[in-house]
A and B are shown apart, each in its own frame.
Chain A
Amino acid sequence: MNSFQFDWQAAFASIPYLLKGVPYTLMISFGGLAIGFLIGIIFGLMRISPTAWLRVPAIAYIEVFRGTPVLVQVLFIFYGLPQLIGGPIDALTAGIAAIAVNSGAYISEVVRGGVQSIERGQREAGVSLGLTRTQTFRYIIWPQGFRRMIPALGNQAIISIKDTSLFAVIGVGELVRQGQIYIATTFNALEVYLMVALMYLAITLTLSVLLRLLERKGLVGQ
Chain B
Amino acid sequence: MQKTSDNPIVKMEKLNKHFGTLHVLKDVDLEVTPGEVVVIIGASGSGKSTLIRCINGLEEFQSGSLDVDGKVLLPHGKASKALQQIRTEVGMVFQQFNLFPHMTVLDNVTLAPMKVRGASRDEARQTARRLLERVGILDQADKHPSQLSGGQQQRVALARALAMEPRLMLFDEPTSALDPEMIGEVLDAMRELAREGMTMVIVTHEMNFAREVADRVIYIHKGEIVEQGKPEAVFDDPQNERTQSFLARVLTH
Contacts and interface: CB of A to CB of B under 8 A. Distances in A.
B176 interface: no
Contacts of A126: 100
A19 B90 CA distance: 63
Contacts of A140: 100
Interface string A126-144: 1111111001000110011
Interface string B112-123: 100110000000
A121 B94 contact: yes
B41 interface: no
B250 interface: no
B239 interface: no
A68 to B, nearest CB: 37
Nearest to B104: A221
A194 interface: no
A222 interface: yes
Nearest to A124: B58
A222 B115 contact: no
Interface residues of B, number: 28
Interface in A99-153: 119, 121-122, 124-132, 135, 139-140, 143-144, 147
Interface magnitude class on chain A: 20 to 34
B111 interface: yes
A121 B94 CA distance: 8
A129 B87 contact: yes
Given A221-B102, A222-B102, A130 B94 contact: no
Interface in B47-103: 56, 58, 84, 87-92, 94, 96, 98-103
A197 B170 CA distance: 62
- Highest count of chain B CB atoms <10 Å: which of A121, A130, A221: A130
A221 B160 contact: no
A127 B87 contact: yes
Contacts of A144: 100-102
Give 4 nearest A-B pairs by CB, closest first: A130-B88, A129-B112, A125-B98, A121-B98
